[in-house]
Structure 1
Amino acid sequence: MPAQDYSKLEGVMWALRRNYECLSLADKDKLQILYKHSPVLKQAHYYALKLTHIFNSHSTRKSAMAKINRWISSVEKSGLRCFDRFIKTLIRYKGAIANYFKARKNSGFVEGLNNKIKVIKRRCYGLFNIRTIIQRLFLDLQGYEKFA
């Protein structure tokens, strides 16, 4: 990749993570440069966005699973290998994943809380008083709203 094109790709990871419709013209240009140098990445990004769209659409459990099965088939026909492990996991837990479409609930809150607790544990390394650790946990989770 020429150095001139490479310098234009700063911040392209954020463009890959957003919906294409929400991107600025500059971000769309960055993606076009990236796609020009990596057509496989363009194809993989296309399939990733299609799957995201399935989960963002309000489908019934049955229709969502049909869409996911079609997505798996199209990815396998495309010849892309980067989704192989993901597809195996998706197939293995398909029933549990399909339950998301019943009430559109997930474990995001619990995962976020676990992550905050892990960060606090790292920050409190060396504190031996459990009360201090509990206070730190309370402040990080609710304290800024109460004491701000």
Structure 2
Amino acid sequence: MKKTYTRRLARSVLALLSYGTIKDVAAHTGLAWHTVKEIEKSHLRKHYAKPRLKDVKYIAIDEFAVHKVHKYMTVVMDLETRQVLYVGKGKKASSLDGFWKLLKRSGSKIKAVAIDMSPAFIKAVTDHLPKSKLVFDWFHIVKLINDKLSDLRRDMFRQEQNVGVRQVLKGTRWLLLKRGYNLDTEKGEDLRLTEALKMNEPLAMMYYMKEELTLMWDHQTKREALIFLRNWCKRATNSGVKQLQQVAKTLLAFRTGILNWYNARISTGPLEGLNNKIKVLKRKAYGYRDLEYFALKIKSIHEYRIRHSLIR
């Protein structure tokens, strides 16, 4: 009788959690906050602690900040189903140790892995999945050149003595990072950017080369993309702009992984979208100080999204 009551109580609590927070459910049922949390945690552990990995072929790996004081967690996602397979503490190679153990037992044959250019992740993947294609996707390449472009604008602003030019450069960072077709013409963003670029030749050169670099993923073949990349890097190296030269050096060093996109057209883009959902979890204060519980909540995001899309 007691077991039946406990099961019914758990089902009621889980149903209520679909519509409110732990605090809401605790207030509605008269249960303690921690009791409600443990009911959900037990349910999540039962369904998500050991994901099915046998049929997984393409994965993405990335880290995200849990706290502002340099605390991170590492996430692995199945790129075909968009399901979170694993959440590990930290952003080191050892953060993935638990995932490799699960993967080995599953017998899965991973064909390709999308990651950023983190040395820790590169080593972890090459050590445990030597036959898989390592793909450095466009998202992180664009982020790399955008960061360097921001550095250049900052340097130009500090060195500029003309007050009028400094005034034009001020506040143009977000305009430089936008793609040209995303500039708001009604707000005059295109005119502001054009004015700033006219006043600074190195900045203009790097901005237009940044825009051109995105064409690397528009080619028909991997060989065409390689030729484009080599030509782009040659011009960047000869530009005399330190930040452009740094980007070219990095792209040439990682060209194999960058061009592997033509073998497996995957990216960490879906994980970037997941990061926004993780931020929502943190804002709702789902008890993320309990990292196991927080990891299980992240794993359940996929099911929650599917269930609610079906309801709509």
Partner of 2:178: 18
Gaps of at least 5 residues in structure 2 are 1-162
Count matched residues: 144
Larger RCO, structure (CA 8 Å, separation 6 or more): 2
What letter matches 2:257 in structure 1? A
Correspondence list, 1:55-94, <5 A: 55=217, 57-94=218-255
TM-score normalised per structure 2:
0.38
How far did 1:36 drift? 3.1
Q: Calculate percent identity across the aligned residue pairs.
A: 20
Partner of 1:97: 258
* Greater percentage in strand: 2
How far did 1:14 drift? 3.7
Q: Deviations over 1:40-70 (max 9, x none)?
A: 1111101111111222x13310000100000
Give the counterpart of 1:38 among 196, 200, 211. 200
How far did 1:144 drift? 6.0
How far did 1:101 drift? 2.3
* Alignment partners' CA distance in 2, 1:144 and 1:8: 46
Q: Is the 8 A contact 2:222 2:259 kept in 1?
A: yes
Q: Deviations over 1:102-133 (max 9, x none)?
A: 343223223543x3576446855665495577
What letter matches 1:89 in structure 2? T
Q: Is the 8 A contact 1:9 1:34 kept in 2?
A: no
Q: Which has the larger radius of gyration?
A: 2
Q: Is the 8 A contact 1:124 1:133 kept in 2?
A: no
* Greater percentage in helix: 1
* Alignment partners' CA distance in 2, 1:125 and 1:62: 50
* Alignment partners' CA distance in 1, 2:309 and 2:204: 43
* Alignment partners' CA distance in 2, 1:29 and 1:15: 10
TM-score normalised per structure 1:
0.70
How far did 1:27 drift? 1.4
Q: Is the 8 A contact 1:8 1:30 kept in 2?
A: no
Q: Deviations over 1:70-96 (max 9, x none)?
A: 000111122111023322221122111
